[in-house]
């Protein structure tokens, strides 16, 4: 169902977030994305009809500043897609305590604060459009854990739990669901050995691409009867 009220995509200036933003704008949605650092392509995105807001969710001040901007400029929202993410391993971290704090700040604290702060805006959007949505982008490792990315996996599990809690709190005006991808797209620097190893972790053994994530977002936005659930995009990896 098309929304007249804008949809926010955090971390929407690259990879899956960017692909979702471009797809939704093409379909006629009003889209707001956040980006952390200055990027040369922001003007191009604005020209395509995407509203771009600079926001750094790695600090409480950054989260509060973003909330204030949106509350000042908008009276209703159609949805929020929490896509902003950090990725770092214990092996590469100089301080594991700071690593854990950063992962939970971006993946749990920021969505928690934003969801609570925008409850009124989402309820207003639901009244105008017939429904509103929150989508948490979690991860396959929230279910299985990770010995190399412990802090990351734990924070994504925390975000997955927020899905259930906010679904209860916001029903029936706002649907709250999650999407949990494993491999969707390789990075340009991934070598052949890594790609082969990653593909063999799933039953379907393929790189599905950004379209798989876009379709999941579209399904949730179009659904009228799903909340508190997670769409797993893992190619049957749990059965390997």
How many distinct helices (H) and strands (E) make up the chain? 10, 7
Q: What percent of the chain has pLDDT over 70?
A: 100
For the chain, what is the radius of gyration of the CA atoms? 17
Structure-block tokens of residue 32: 């707001």
Contacts of 208-212 spanning 24+ positions with Cβ under 8 A: 208/183, 208/184, 208/233, 208/235, 209/184, 209/185, 210/15, 210/16, 210/19, 210/20, 210/184, 210/185, 211/19, 212/181, 212/184
Write the CATH number for 218. 3.40.50.720
* Distance, CA of 201 to CA of 203 (rounded, Å): 7
- With respect to residue 166, please indicate whether it lies within any of the assigned structural domains: yes
- With respect to residue 1, please indicate whether it lies within any of the assigned structural domains: no
Domain of 81 in residue numbering reads as 7-239
Give the total number of structural domains in the chain. Answer: 1
- With respect to residue 30, please indicate whether it lies within any of the assigned structural domains: yes
Active site residues per annotation: 152
- With respect to residue 134, please indicate whether it lies within any of the assigned structural domains: yes
- With respect to residue 89, please indicate whether it lies within any of the assigned structural domains: yes
pLDDT of residue 189: 82
pLDDT of residue 1: 62
Render pLDDT for 54-63 as a digit per residue (tens, 0 to 9): 999 999 999 9
Render pLDDT for 15-74 as a digit per residue (tens, 0 to 9): 999 999 999 999 999 999 999 998 889 999 999 999 999 999 999 999 999 999 999 999
- With respect to residue 235, please indicate whether it lies within any of the assigned structural domains: yes
- With respect to residue 2, please indicate whether it lies within any of the assigned structural domains: no
């Amino acid at each position: 169902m098309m929304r007249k009220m804008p949809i926010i995509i955090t971390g929407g200036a690259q990879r899956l977030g960017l692909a979702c933003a471009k797809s939704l704008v093409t379909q006629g949605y009003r889209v707001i994305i956040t980006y952390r650092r200055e990027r040369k392509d922001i003007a191009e995105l604005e020209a395509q009809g995407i509203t771009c807001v600079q926001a750094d969710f790695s600090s409480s001040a950054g989260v509060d500043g973003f909330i204030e901007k949106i509350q000042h400029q908008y009276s209703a929202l159609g949805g929020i897609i929490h896509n902003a993410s950090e990725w770092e391993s214990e092996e590469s971290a100089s301080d594991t305590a700071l690593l854990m704090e950063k992962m939970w700040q971006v993946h749990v604290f920021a969505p928690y604060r934003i969801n609570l702060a925008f409850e009124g805006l989402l309820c207003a959007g639901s009244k105008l459009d017939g429904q509103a949505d929150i989508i948490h982008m979690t991860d396959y490792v929230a279910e299985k854990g990770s010995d190399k990315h412990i802090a990351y996996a734990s924070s994504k599990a925390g975000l997955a739990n927020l899905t259930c809690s906010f679904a209860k709190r916001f029903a029936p005006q706002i649907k709250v669901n999650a999407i949990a991808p494993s491999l969707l797209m390789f990075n340009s620097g991934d070598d052949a050995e890594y790609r082969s190893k990653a593909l063999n972790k799933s039953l379907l053994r393929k790189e599905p691409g950004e379209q798989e994530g876009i379709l999941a977002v579209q399904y949730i936005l179009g659904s009228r009867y799903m909340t508190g659930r997670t769409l797993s995009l893992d190619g049957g990896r749990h059965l390997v």
